Amino acid sequence: KRGYFAGPLSFGEKDAGKRVLHVLNFKKPGSLAAAGGILLLVVLAAVCLTDGKKEGGPEGADAPAGKTEESREVQPEAEAEGNASPGNETDGQLPEFARVRDRIVQQGLLLNQPLAFGEAVDPEDGDAVVRMAESADGVYAAYGFISPEYGSRGICLRNYQGADEHLNYVDAGWVNAYEEPRLAVGDYDGDGEEEVAFAFVSGSGTGVYVETLLVFETDETGHMYPSEMTQERQEEEISRLLETRVNADAKTLELVDKGTGETVIGGISYGNGEEQAEFIGMDYSSQIRYSVGEDIFLFVGAGVFTDMSPMPELSEDNVAFRVRFHNPENGSGGRFTLEDPARGVFGVSAQAGTVFDETAVLIPGENVARIEITNGNTGSVSSITDREILEKVLEAYRELDIRPNGELKVRSGYSYRMELFDKKGNRLQSVVPYKDAVMIDGQIYDGSMNRTTTDLLLALAEAVT
């Protein structure tokens, strides 16, 4: 039986095959026997990590959710009565997702008060439904299914057309933790009809945080047809927009906009100081986040594969793209394209609709000569001037991954507060880190999507001891 998705995975759900193969092959073989062993493992991985099915369709087109190799599928409302889709029956048995879905629907769990997102679930309690997100007007809402044998898998998007309620199902894995799912409504393809954009965490682990984007089209019957921004499509679009220029001697590279020739991110170091390290390729699959609203933005971490490590080295910078959704005339599912590559962080200013740059908020480390750290529990104040200790704190400070969030309120109480001063004793900034946010000069910034705020707290605690 499958366990609950309550903790991090060793690999994210996305592209596990590539990661396994890279781990297996990151060292050059020293003998024919080693080469033969690796070849055998590659063949076994290729067999085990694919489902053996290939869906038809236009070459290069994005697959609607449910038509991908991960077996996502949209279930017609009629199937909620317990009937399987044609071609999905196996010896008279419903597929696992359809069976679990029907059981949950028959129990009426969607109609009862669902659990809040992130609420702990005991496997012994049986099936559960989690409320994931809802539109501001209440017309659309997304729910996640949890079952003892299936874990956190299956999504129901509910929508109303007048007095009629419609339930639309998607077989998709999701994580009942971390960042809350986001749901927004807009005319993303410019056809005069509204679509629903839904982003949620689908994979996590050491160095891995992956979100999935679904955009739902609506027709007059009330059915909603989801299209997924697949990893394959994402990589195609990034390759179309960006090129990598490598300086092998300096062990640095830059990402360049192919259309304009301008550098998007420069000075990315790789190799971790190893002179022998050789650049293999870029990784854009380890850190994937979406911002949905009037527009849709994608934020990806730029990782570098070398022959010295089986895992990518993530740079401090991320690349932001505007996501465009197009609805083909044949109605077979949407097509996603990316535009406007730029340096960014995991957040978008809702007011201006532009990428938020945290470096405009944080003080350059070279301007800081002293830090005063106040213990919120004891009230004691420590003045830090030792450059080695300062650098450790400033390193954690520079790594802060923050974004504006108008819904966050100013916090009261704190574990540590630090104030930054220059050489002349002028106060530069006051910073209060919390576990999920940072208050800078009285302004609260969201930091719930990562551990960087916690890292700063730990650095301050170490500095005063």
Least confident of 52-66, 116-130, 163-177: 52-66
pLDDT of 79: 34
352 compared with 320, residue with greater pLDDT:
320
Residue 438 structure tokens: 């940072």
Residue 270 has pLDDT above 80, yes or no: yes
Residue 198 structure tokens: 């839904």
pLDDT of 369: 95
Instruction: Measure the CA angle with vertex 426, ends 420 and 431; round to 5°.
Output: 25
CA distance 392 to 243: 34
CA distance 210 to 204: 6
At 161, the pLDDT band (50, 70, 90 cuts) reads confident
At 3, the pLDDT band (50, 70, 90 cuts) reads very low
Residue 71 has pLDDT above 50, yes or no: no
Residue 241 has pLDDT above 70, yes or no: yes
The arithmetic mean of pLDDT across residues 230-238, rounded, is 93
pLDDT of 423: 92
At 175, the pLDDT band (50, 70, 90 cuts) reads very high
CA 169 to chain centre: 22
Residue of 297, 135, 95, 101 lying closest to 218 (CA atoms): 135
pLDDT of 173: 93
What SS3 state is found at 406? Answer: coil
Residue 182 has pLDDT above 60, yes or no: yes
At 239, the pLDDT band (50, 70, 90 cuts) reads very high
- Domains within the chain, CATH numbers bracketed: 1-51+60-224 (no CATH), 232-356 (no CATH), 359-464 (2.60.40.4250)
* Model pTM above 0.85: no
Supply the mean pLDDT for the chain. Answer: 78
pLDDT of 19: 52
